[in-house]
Homo-oligomer: A and B are copies of this chain.
Amino acid sequence: MTVSPSILPGSKRVPTLSIHADDHLRVTADVSAPISVSTTFDYAAADVRANNYGSSQSYQYSRINTPTAAKTEAVLSALMEGHAVVYGSGLTAAFAVLTEYRPKKIALGECYFGVRNVVEQYKKLMPDVQVIGADCSFDGVDLVWLESPINPTGEVKDIQSYALRAHAAGAVLVVDATLAPPPLSYPFRQGADIVVHSATKYLGGHADLLAGVVVTRSPKQADCLREARSVLGSGAGSLDAWLLLRSLRTLAVRVRQQSQTAARLVALIEGYRRSAMATPCHTPSALELSLGRRIAIVRHASLQQCAVGKTYIHAQHPEGLGAVFSVSFATGEQALFVARHLKLHHFATSLGGVESLVDWRHGWDAIADPALLRVSVGLEAFDDLAADWAQALQALDAHEGRGAAKL
């Protein structure tokens, strides 16, 4: 008989932290936190003296902090092993990092086009800022922005190697880990200095809230960010913050399940692609051809793992690789055809929610491959999603065949 002696705060288990890391912030008996909406709070009147409004009270004005936001940040801090500051959106969070660090030379990896836009906006204010790629020399770089896993392919970068290079150059390493929240990845463990998330995605997980989070290693950095957030009023909305807290309670079960289903779906679709290829030992059947021959490339961290030099992946992701992957075809028309024929995947942007989504990134981002679809796997049963892909791929093949027949 073994007795596990650890209990909070010593515990590091994600599901427990998700539910109890804000227990110390409750001021009423409500088991489930109320939705804070008040913009202003009565002073503990006796304590108001010159310039001390902020020093002795938890809450004065909702632009600064609210009871809900404080709880949400407490849970995120515990989950992310740092000090979390919540913003109105992921891009607000990204802009907060830039305005806090005010880098003069940024190394920007392959990333979400929204972040590229934020950097552009930053450059409008600071025209002398230089932006280079993350695979260039970091000479003179003061901030490296790395996304891992990468949107839209779900492929994983070697954070540790970027951390070593960034730190050697005296730069700060910011990791946008939106596509792999806890318990999937913990970028501080690989040397990140700042971790950023669009909480709109997995952390929110229900496609019904907009929020972002910056996580720092030190409480002091977080305090600086919070001060600037108060000045600019860039925190999350009242319901957004509350829904985020509610969503975090189920984070581990959602993300683990979505990640597992995605890995199976990637294997299935990649299997379709391979089975459709004739080899000396394999002549594809009609069914195999109809399912797989239109697929050009499938990308996901699970497919990277076989490659040489990718041993870092398992170390970074012991519990799963995320639920976003991409499927590419020969043409944009084919990609759009499949997007329109999937029935259990909404044809809509965003990712990380309980509903499977498929998005045609070229519509948003001119540099994205028009033949690529980004897939975000939700909580539906694997068998149903598999059937959905099978019918859509077969429909594409039938459609193309008819097209060919016409010729």
Give the B-binding residues of A (Cβ under 8 A). Answer: 1, 3-8, 11, 13-16, 18-20, 27-46, 48-53, 57-63, 67, 87-92, 95, 99, 102, 114, 117-118, 120-121, 124-126, 200, 204, 206-210, 212, 228, 231-241, 243, 246, 249-250, 252-254, 257, 271-272, 275, 287-288, 291, 332, 336, 339-340, 343-344, 346-350, 353-355, 357, 360, 362-364, 366, 370, 378-381, 383-384, 386-388, 390-391
Q: List 7 A-B contacts (CB under 8 A).
A: A30-B41, A34-B36, A40-B353, A49-B363, A50-B370, A60-B349, A95-B233
CB distance from A126 to the nearest CB of B (A): 6
Residues of B within 8 A of A210 (CB): 39, 62-63, 233, 235, 237-238
Contact A31 B35 (CB under 8 A): no
Q: Within the complex, which residue of B125, B231, B362 is in contact with A125, where a contact is CB–CB below 8 Å?
A: B125
Q: Which residue of the partner chain, among B67, B88, B272, B353, contacts A234 with CB atoms under 8 Å?
A: B88
Q: Once the chains bind, are A39 and B88 in contact (CB under 8 Å)?
A: no
- Closest chain B residue, CB of each to CB of A253: B253
Inter-chain contacts of A120 with B (CB < 8 A):
231
Chain B's closest residue to A33 (CB) is B38
Please, which residues of chain B bring their CB within 8 A of the CB of A252? 379
Q: A50-B370, A89-B63, A236-B237 are in contact. Are A45 and B1 (CB under 8 A)?
A: no
Q: Which residues of B contact A364 (CB under 8 A)?
A: 53
Given contacts A31-B350, A39-B208, A117-B231, 15 further A-B pairs with CB under 8 A are A4-B384, A7-B387, A13-B384, A27-B28, A29-B59, A31-B207, A31-B348, A33-B37, A40-B357, A43-B348, A48-B336, A50-B363, A88-B88, A125-B126, A252-B379
Q: How far apart are A108's CB and chain B's nearest CB, in angstroms?
A: 15
> Is B384 in contact with A8, judged by CB distance below 8 angstroms?
yes
**Complex-state Cα separation, A13 to B43, whole angstroms:** 26
CA distance A15 to B45 in the complex (A): 25
Once A99-B124, A212-B233, A366-B51 are accepted as A-B contacts, the answer to whether A207 and B7 lie under 8 Å apart by CB is: no
Q: Which residues of B contact A288 (CB under 8 A)?
A: 1
User: B50, A343: Cβ atoms under 8 Å?
Assistant: no
Complex CA gap A387/B349 in Å reads 43
A35: B residues at CB distance < 8 A? 34-35, 37, 239
Contacts of A378 in B (CB 8 A): 19
The answer to whether A39 touches B50, judged by C-beta atoms less than 8 angstroms apart, is no
Q: In angstroms, how far is the closest chain B Cβ from the Cβ of A189?
A: 19
With both chains docked as a complex, state the minimum distance between the C-beta of A59 and any C-beta of chain B, in angstroms: 6
Q: Which single member of B31, B117, B332, B360 contacts A40 (CB below 8 Å)?
A: B31
Q: Are the CB atoms of A363 and B117 closer together than 8 Å?
A: no
User: Which of B36, B61, B381 contacts A13 (CB under 8 A)?
Assistant: B381
Residues on B with beta carbons closer than 8 Å to the beta carbon of A11 = 381, 384, 387
- Chain B contacts for A340, CB-based, 8 A: 45-46
Q: Would you call A231 and B287 a contact (CB within 8 A)?
A: no
Measured CA separation A216–B113 after assembly (Å): 28
- Per a CB cutoff under 8 Å, which of B8, B44, B117, B360 touches A344? B8
A6 to B212, CA, bound (A): 38
